[in-house]
Amino acid sequence: MTIDLSVPVSAWGHGLATVAGDGTVLDTWYPAPRLGERDPERGGADAASVLDDLIAQAVPDDRRNVRVEVVTTEITLADPPASTPDAYLRLHLLSHLLVRPNTINLDGIFGHLPITVWTNAGPVLPADFDRLRPSLQRHGIAAHGIDKFPRLLDYVSPDRVRIADASRVRLGAHLSPGTTVMHEGFVNFNAGTLGTSMVEGRISQGVVVGDGSDVGGGASIMGTLSGGGTERVSIGERALLGANSGIGISIGDDSVVEAGLYVTAGTKVYLVGAPRRNDGSTPSVKAIELSGRPNLLFRRNSLTGAVEALSRTGAGVTLNETLHA
């Protein structure tokens, strides 16, 4: 992957690791991750206070057959993750907005995230959850998922961000202040917003959404985790994906995709308003050739069914300020 050279090369943090009875590290929480190299002699009172608080909270939970250990993790961001605490530190850096999506090495991160039962009392090893199920139920401990990635809100509370359904946003999502994620919105890890945005659709891994943009209800943005795709998709500023639309190309600033229209990289797009060909026909291109261009409207001709692109003029999308305060 491409590493952003403007990002510091290292990071560190004091955290609490949850360790199952068989020694599996289930997760690690870092309340105050930091960029740069750790200097024990210049850590400051804040770092010492964080460490003291963690030591006080490092208590076992026999109900879940786990112990909690204080860890100090130091990593090089250009290297791939090397352990579960390492992987969790990278996810925390993203969700604390210390780094942007696609700027640090996450290669092989799935291999360092064990499949875990996520409960209202914390993570549990799947085998232990089955074995301890009656006891867990008596203690009011219930599962809300089994996955490699936990919910963002169980680890980070983003500033000035609204998330209507906690299960729809993974740890590692990058949500800038002013972002609203409605009930049907979804944000994966290593993806998110760079400014005020409305999210009612799906933001896949690797996708970034610019300031002032709106991802409409049911809208889909292609990622790179499955299907063999390598194209990094982004949405510019003041752009709109209409309800139930989708894109496999980047959308530039002040652009709009009509509701219900899915534009993949190979979609044939007719260029409305462009000079006609010698035979009088409207020129067309593959959608990938329009990737990232600003001030475009993508629509489907209601008579012919052809996908068209035409230039937009005037103001871009304007979000309702009261919904993002």
Query: What is the per-residue pLDDT across 269-291, written as a single tens digit (0 to 9) for each?
Result: 999 989 899 888 999 999 999 99
Residues 133-149, mean pLDDT to the nearest whole number: 98
The average pLDDT across 133-161 equals 97
pLDDT at 155 over 50: yes
pLDDT at site 168:
98
Q: CA–CA separation, 325 vs 313, rounded Å?
A: 28
Residue 230, pLDDT above cutoff 70? no
Would you call 200 a catalytic residue per the annotation? Answer: yes
**148 known ligand binder:** no
Q: Is 252 annotated as a binding residue?
A: no
Whether the Cβ atoms of residue 295 and residue 317 lie closer than 8 Å to each other: no
Task: Give yes or no for a contact between 209 and 203, defined as CB atoms under 8 angstroms apart.
Answer: yes
The proportion of the chain whose per-residue pLDDT surpasses 70, expressed as a percent, equals 93
Q: Check whether 289 is labelled as a binding-site residue.
A: no
**Distance separating alpha carbons of residues 189 and 155, to the nearest angstrom:** 13
pLDDT band for position 323 (cuts 50, 70, 90):
confident
pLDDT at residue 249 greater than cutoff 80: yes
268 among annotated binding-site residues: no
How much is the average pLDDT of 108-133?
98
Identified catalytic residue from 74, 200, 237, 289? 200
Paired residues of 187 in beta bridges: 169, 203
Is residue 256 predicted with pLDDT exceeding 50? yes
Distance CA 83, CA 73 (A): 10
299 labelled as ligand-binding?
yes
In the predicted model, what is the mean pLDDT of the chain?
A: 93
Residues of the chain with CATH 3.30.70.2010: 10-147
Q: Provide CATH 2.160.10.10 ranges for the chain.
A: 152-318
| Average pLDDT rounded to a whole number, residues 82-89 | 99
Query: Does residue 218 carry a pLDDT above 80?
Result: yes
With 90 as the cut, is the pLDDT of residue 123 above it?
A: yes
The CATH label, of 3.30.70.2010, 3.40.50.300, 3.30.230.10, 3.30.200.20, for the domain at 10-147 is 3.30.70.2010
Q: Which of residues 299 and 316 earns the better pLDDT score?
A: 299
Using alpha carbons, select from 84, 101, 86 the residue that is nearest to residue 19: 84
220 known member of a binding site = yes
Predicted pLDDT of residue 311? 95
Note the pTM of the prediction, 2 decimals: 0.92
Q: Which helix (H) or strand (E) holds 51?
A: helix 44-57
User: Is 119:133 a contact under the CB 8 Å cutoff?
Assistant: no
Q: Is 204 annotated as a binding residue?
A: no
When comparing pLDDT for 3 and 310, which is higher? 310
* CATH fold label, 152-318: UDP N-Acetylglucosamine Acyltransferase; domain 1 (2.160.10)
173 pLDDT band, cuts 50/70/90, is very high
Q: What is the dihedral of CA 18, 23, 24, 25, to 10 degrees?
A: 30
The pLDDT confidence band at residue 318, using thresholds 50, 70 and 90, is: confident
Buried b (16+ CB within 10 A) or exposed e, 141-176: beeeeeeebbbbbbbbebeebbbeeeebbbbbbbbb
Q: Which residues contact 125 (CB under 8 A, 6 or more apart)?
A: 20, 21, 22, 24, 26, 65, 66, 114, 116, 117
φ/ψ of residue 14, rounded to 5: -90, 135
pLDDT of residue 1: 47
Cβ count near 277 (within 10 Å): 10
18-55 residue pLDDT tens: 999 999 999 999 999 999 998 776 656 677 788 999 99
**Residue predicted with more confidence, 39 or 117:** 117
Annotated binding residue at 102?
Answer: no
pLDDT at 211: 96
pLDDT for residue 4 is more than 60: no
Strands 208-209 and 191-193: parallel
Cα angle, residue 90 at apex, residues 89 and 92 outer, rounded to 5°? 65
CB neighbour class for 122 (10 Å; exposed up to 12, middle 13-18, buried from 19): buried
* Residue 20 is assigned to a ligand binding site: no
Find the radius of gyration of the CA atoms of the chain: 23
